[in-house]
Amino acid sequence: MKLDKFFPQNWGLEIPFNVSISEQFTDPKYNPLDDDVLFDEDPRKDELKDIVRTYAQQKSFTFSNVRKIKTNNKPARFYDISNFAVSFMYGDTYNRDIYTAYNLTKQIRTSVNYNYNFRPNYYQPLKDWRAVQDTVKSAKYLKFLKEFNVNPLPARFSFRTEIHRTYSERQYRDLNQYFGGSSYLFPIAFSNNFLFSWQYNIGFDLTKSLRLDYTSATRT
C-alpha cells in the first residue's frame, strides 16, 4: 500500500507500507503418540487435537524507504531532508508441534539511509596552454595535456545505520504425561540479541575517467 496517496501530492512524500500475514496448520492421519491408531478413531482425539496439530503463523509490517522527494527546482543541498530515507520492520513467527509447546520469534529492524551527490567541478590547468596550437605538427601528441583534468573534491557521500533486535522464546513439550509417566516442565529457553551496524561510502571522481570509492562497515 502506498500511504502517501492519502496526502497532498505537492508534499512529495513516499510511504510504501507492506503487511504480510500467513497461517498454516497440518493435522496428522495417525496419532503420532501411537502410530497404529488413526487419529480420528483415537478416544483421546479431543484431548490431543491441539497437541498433535502442527501450527505456524507469521506476521510482518514494513515501512520501506519512507522519504520526501524534492518538489522544487532549487539546487540540492547536503542538508536537504530529501537525502534521507527511513525504514522500519516488525515481524513475528509462532509455531508449535508434537515436540514443541511453542516457539516464538520477534524481530524489529530500523534503518536510516543518507545519500548525496556533489556537483562535479573539474579543473583543467592546461586547457588554455598556448604552447600547443592546432597548427603545430606536434599538437595531436600533446592534446592529452590540454585535456588533463582533475577533481579533488568528493563526488558522492552516503551512510547507513541500522538497529536489528531479535527475540526468541521456546518451550519443549513434556510427552511423558501422555504415556502415563511423571510429568516434567521443561524450562523456557530465551534469546535476545541487539545488532547495531553502520557503514559509509565516500567517492571521488578524480578525473572524468578515473573513480575512487572507499567504503567502511562495522557491526556490533
Q: What is the pLDDT of residues 145-194, one digit of tens each?
A: 777 788 888 999 999 999 999 999 999 988 887 777 677 778 999 999 99
* Position 67 pLDDT exceeds 60: yes
In this prediction, residues 117-137 reach a mean pLDDT of: 70
- Average model confidence (pLDDT) for the chain? 88
Three cell numbers, residue 38: 488413526
> What's the pTM value of the predicted model, to 2 decimals?
0.78
Q: Alpha helices, DSSP H only, in 72-160?
A: 139-146
Bridge partner list, 210: 207
Distance of alpha carbon 27 from alpha carbon 30, whole angstroms:
9
CA atoms within 13 A on the CB side of 122: 15
Q: Are 71 and 51 in contact (CB under 8 A)?
A: no
Q: Give the residue among 99, 11, 97, 6 at the shortest CA–CA distance from 56.
A: 97
10-52, pLDDT tens digit by residue?
A: 899 999 999 999 999 998 998 888 888 888 888 888 888 888 8
